[in-house]
Each structure stands twice: as structure tokens, then as C-alpha cells.
Amino acid sequence: MEKHHKFSIGYILLAVWGVLILQNMLTSALSIQTIPYSEFIRLLKQNKITEIAISANQIQGKKLMDDGKTELFRTVRVDPDLSNMLEQYHVTFKGEVESTLLRDLLSWFMPILIFFGIWYVIFRKMQGAQAGFMMLGKNKAKIYMENELDVRFDDVAGVDEAKAELVEIVEFLKQPERYTRIGGKMPKGILLVGPPGSGKTLLAKAVAGESKVPFFSMSGSEFVEMFVGLGAARVRDLFVQAKEKAPCIIFIDELDALGKARGFGAMGGHDEREQTLNQLLVEMDGFDSRVGVILMAATNRPEILDPALLRPGRFDRQVLVDRPDKKGREDILRVHLKKTPVEPDVDVEKIAAMTSGMVGADLENLINEATLLAARKDKETVGMAEFTEAVERIIAGLEKKNRLINPDEKKIVAYHELGHALVAMALPGTDPVQKITIIPRGIAALGYTMQVPTEDRFLMRQSELLNKIATLLGGRAAESIIFEEISTGAHNDLARATDIARSMVREYGMSPKMGQVYFAKGQRSPFLGVAPEGPNEYSEATAQLIDDEIRAIIAAQYEKATELLRQRKPVLDKAAQLLLEKETIEGEELEALIQSAS
């Protein structure tokens, strides 16, 4: 290819400057003769010097030749006294002219060099800024090549059903002819749906790692910028690059940031996010599934996605990456424990039972917390005590043994926590009590009653929900019985009990007066558990009935908890004294006190 050099006036200036210097040097060297100072003295005595010009270090003038013509000369001045002595002893002497060529060149060249250096830096910065502006439309995807992904399906545990769904994608990328020869088409889009931290991104990387294809990873929020049209340009550029490296996988994390249902933005159809979404829909329709480009995305809010994204031909397959069950949590713990030295007493099954509801990210954090606790004790291995403490730390917060509580408050906390524990032990269907402590934890918890479920529960009966409310109200009931007044320590218990009662009435149809009617407003997220606020779709009279029913459920369970604690008041007093002495007691100790009192 022919290269075109840009014209620059700097080259002309540099050439002119060089020519002038050379001309000056040549003129000086050719027309003026340099003679020794002793020769100058001799000519002076012979009256052959016609005129001179004297400077500080040099004498320049004209000398008379034998033919009567004059010639220019110059010589370097020498000290007169020294010249007289040298002439007396017939010594030939001369002055040396110090070469100033290098100094002259530097005095000319350095300013020009500095000027051009500054000009070059400014020009490059301006060029870089212009290029950066032109690069705004380029996608910001992180590209992992085949040899850069070391994640495999063996590194992903607890989501066996999701892995089974994705194995087919891996086989299609490895052996596409196996499916295409009978008319099969590879799914264009795969949507991974699940709660935060459940391993959606890790699964996508595992698919790319098993398939040994390039992996383009980008967040949905990286498409949308303040400049209109940049998001759509980035979508186009992403698909162009992907087609060049096909077969490959494009992964868009947090798709809900980009694919939210259209028509609800503040700027309507001209919203930049909607333009980006429209471009994504067009690209998904446009590329051929036989090319080998698979689009994978992840979200924990599928209910707000635009319906056009979820239709067949775009995201053909939705894969649920749900919270792991007990067996799944065991597998996840074993994967993470491969790099952690543990003691022989560590029971993975027991840890999995203590961590109901936790996802993979929570379990990884749990092991890290246990490792830090062991390192703090200068231990080489992690024991069961560290894992138990890590679970409590994640659920209830950090222990604050230095927080000073006066004896009266400490007594109230002891009876309050034992009220929870005794009611839970007295009612069927409640989680077993493992530990009761009055050591402050977290921001506001002055005590803590730890209940560990024996198994994962996916459904709860009405009686179990009522017993759960009674357990939550047991602390307030114990305060009322012992001190004949109540404190502010039950505010969190009241909030949780009220939420359960409200769900029973409004969502679960567990109120005889309200009947089998769903009164909850908005659409609750299946993974985040939140519902957008909206107007009530029932009358004020119905709202009053709902409030009355919630109040009635709370009152009935409070009476149940109070009655149970009155019956076990001796055990409550004895256990409170033990808890005040030890600050922490195990569930077995409390169970032994109940057995001895009966």
C-alpha cells in the first residue's frame, strides 16, 4: 500500500536553518586566514599590518602581501607580557581558538527541539482525544479466548439441572453437524434466570470453557450512555466482532438494565435505552444460528423484561439457576473446601444444614470468613467452631463483646431471648434451637437465638406460620410476664411477625373472613421478594377488614406465647440465671433444664 506523508512547514524551517549554518561556517573558513600570534607580532614590526579590529579574545584585520595586495587574517590574543618573554627566547607561539560549534549547534537546536517536542505531545493528545471520541461507539466487551478460560462444569456445583440444560449447547458448539443434519437449529439465545450470587456468570464461563470457543462478556449497563445512539452502535459492533470470531458466545450480564419493558421510560420511545434494546432485537433476528454465535444473558428480574426479548427466536431457552438445596450446598462447599485445609471434625453436611437459603456466593464468603477466623487464632487448619462462628456472623452480625450493657438491660435481653427459645421448643413444626446468647451482635441486636432448620422447606402450612409468629412474639411475652412492662427490643420481631400475618391474609388466603382472595398489589419478584408500589385494587372497607384480620392473628399468637411461658416460668427463671452467668448456652443445655423441670 502506498504511504502518503503529510506536508509540514517544520521540515522547511529546519532545512533553511541548516543551510545558513553551513554557509556561515564555509564563508568563515574560506575567506579569513588564521595566523599565529607570533606571526602577527612579526608582521606588525615589519609594518605590514594595515588595520585591525580587536575584541576580547581575538584580533582580526588586514595584512599587506608582497605583491602589494591585502589579505584578511585573524589571530587569538595572547598576554603581552608572556608574548614578550616568548619572543625573547625565540619561541614560536600562537593562540588556540576554542571550538564553539557544538555550543552554537545546541543553542540553535535545543530550543527548536523543545518547541517541536511540546508540539508533538499536544498533537498526540489531541489526536488521542479525537480517537477516544470516535471509539465511543465501540463495544466494551471483555474478550476471553479459548486458552484464557479455565472454568469447567466440574467447577460449578449445586445447579445440576441448569448444567444438564447447558450440556446440549456445548455439544452443539463442538459437533454442530450432529444436529444440523436432521434440520436442528442451535438456540439463538439462552437466558439464565436466578437470584443474585447463584452462579449464572460462572455457568456461562463454564459453557465457553467446555466448548473451547471465544467468550464475549459485557454488562447490560455498559451499552447505555448519555449520548444518543452509542448503545445501538455498541450492539452492532459487538455482533460484528462476534461473527468474525464465530463460533463464540456473547454473554450479557444484568440484562434487565438493558432489556426492561419499553414504554415506561421518562423519555418514551426516544429513550436511549429503548433504542439500544431495539437494536439488540434486530441483531438477534438478523444473525444466522448456523454461524455459531450464541447469545447468553443473565438476570434476577425476569418479570420486568420486555416480552419481545422472551419470544421464540430470540431467547429460545430459559434456564433456572435457583438456590441450591441441601445436597447442592454440600457440593458447593466441597468445591470451595478443596483449597482450604480443614480439621477432621468438620462436618460438611451439618454446615449445609445451617446455611439454608444461601447461594454459591454466600457459601464462598462463609468459607472465607471461617478461614479468616482461623488465621486470627494462628491456626493452620479451619475447624467446625470457625464455621459455626462464620454462620452466626453472616446471619446475625459481628460479636461485640466490648459493648457495655448495664445489668438491668442485660437481664431484659436474657429473658427476651429465652422467651423465643422456650416457645420454639414448645411448638411443633419450628426449627430446632441451637444456641442462645446475650452477646450483642451487628448494629442493633443485643442478643440472638439461633435456630437451624433440619431440612429445606418449600411449603409451609398455616399452623407452621402461626407457630412462627408465636415464636417471634415470645420475647415480648417473656418481658411482659417477668417485668410487667415491655421494652423496645422487640421492634424487629414485631416487623417480621406482621409481615407473615399480612402475607397470610393478603397473599395466601389463610383468613376465613377474607376468603380465598389475593389482595397483594404489584408483581412480586420471584428472586428479590419485592413488589413495586401501586394503588390498592380493593375498597376501604376491605382494607379495614384486612387490618383487623392481621391484628387478630398477631393478638391470638401473642396470647399463645404468653400462656406457654407462664406454664414454664420456673424453667424461664432458671435458664435466665444460667444465661446471665455464661452469656451463651447451647440448645441441649436448655433442653436438659426443661427435662429436669418436668
Catalytic residues: 417
Sort residue 569 into left (φ over 0), alpha (ψ -120 to 50) or beta: alpha
| Residue position matching grid coordinates 445489668 | 407
> Do 250 and 270 meet the contact criterion of CB atoms below 8 Å apart?
no
Secondary structure letter of residue 399 according to DSSP: B
Closest CA to 486 of 474, 500, 468: 474
CB neighbours (10 Å) of residue 200?
A: 26
Give the containing element (helix H, strand E) for 70: strand 70-76
Cα distances (angstroms) measured from residue 69 to each of 40, 43, 51, 65:
17, 15, 13, 5
d(CA 465, CA 473): 13
d(CA 179, CA 315): 19
> Do 553 and 501 meet the contact criterion of CB atoms below 8 Å apart?
yes
Cα distances (angstroms) measured from residue 81 to each of 142, 171, 253:
84, 104, 93
The three three-digit cell numbers of residue 438, written as one number = 446475650
In degrees to the nearest 10, what's the CA dihedral of 47, 50, 51, 55? -40
The amino acid occupying position 579 is: L
Taking the mean position of all CA atoms in its chain, how far away is CA 462? 42
Sort residue 535 into left (φ over 0), alpha (ψ -120 to 50) or beta: beta
The three three-digit cell numbers of residue 94, written as one number = 600562537
